[in-house]
Structure 1
Amino acid sequence: MKILDKSFYNIDALSLSKKLLGKVLVNQVNGKSLKGIIVETEAYIGAVDKASHAYGGRRTERTETLYGEPGIVYVYSIYGMYFCFNVICGEKDVAEGVLIRGLEPLEGFEEMSFNRFKKPYEELTKSQIKNLTNGPSKLCIAMNINKSNNKEKLIKENSLYIEDHDIEVLPSNIVETTRIGIDYAEEAVHFPWRFYIKDNPYVSKK
């Protein structure tokens, strides 16, 4: 396995959304490794996308991270209590990013279980196991990702990064469909910019 470097992220959001499928998100917390295979992503492109926080060139304190270097983290809050984790990509000063929507737990099951449900993994119901990381805010809770991670670089020297485990995801196994929770985004609602691994149980919505 190897940690992905900055060059991996220096591509457009649509391409990266597909390339990230099968890669492994890692967060080192209190000496423990929390790992999950990325199984669902969404692309956001500020220049043309009314669902993007940076649509129309909007630059605020909140959205400035979107214009940063490829391979940095953009974490934003929703409903004042949950978080969503994004990977910035493409060229600096061009707002593009990929939302991680679903993970398949790989390592750190106990820690993820306590983070999400406050009890051991072996005590989880089948429904709770399925719901451990099958959504953008759920996976942030399980992986202990929060606003403190905003603007971090996804590199070895930091606790949060993405690894390549040589998991092959064939194009025929990638489903391309519309994104979720963006009803306000007019024509962008219909962009087929959500990608997921077919038949994976940790996809948020099929």
Structure 2
Amino acid sequence: MLEPGIIQKLPLSTISKIKQLNPGRHIRDVVQGLIENSIDASPTQISIFLENDGFSSIKVSDNGCGIQRSSLPYLCRFNWTSKLRSIDEFPNDSSRIPTFGYHGTFLASLSCASTITVLTRTRNDIHTYSATYQFNAMIKQSQINESAPGTCIEVKDYLSNFPEEKLRMCNNQKEVNKMLDVVAKYACAYSWIRFEVTVNDSM
């Protein structure tokens, strides 16, 4: 059974060798990144919830291994990750890289565009922990009563820090369909994981 790793800052020697990816700005890009984070946690179920086509809330939850409480302060910092320490950990065949998220940039970038809230519990924890992030910093942390292990990441008011970009994106009626196409591809590739999608209260 997969255990959550400790989130640590990548060494400069590793950062310099990793291509820094643009996390994208479309709703489908956000959902894709959150799904990949969930898949890395070895879940059997992933649920996606969108409110107002994703512009009010994008929420992805899983029943995977969870995030250690001690790692929460570093979750949205650039170049911090639990999935890689050295470039030497990569297999010679790049198609066999065992993880999606090794850049340590996706959630960091999202926290600069929106408010991020994380609920998480590992299988060894008694409690669930909640943390809120803005501009790479954890601004709030609390302990709540939730029973199931796993992680739920919510992106609230997406692109609220970039109102002109948000207005342009809101006029794109095809965005939800493109997001559904992304989910369908992952559902086919990871058939042992159950995917559920709810958009504006409709499954």
TM-score class, shorter: under 0.3
Normalised by the length of structure 1, the TM-score is: 0.27
Q: TM-score, normalised by structure 2?
A: 0.28
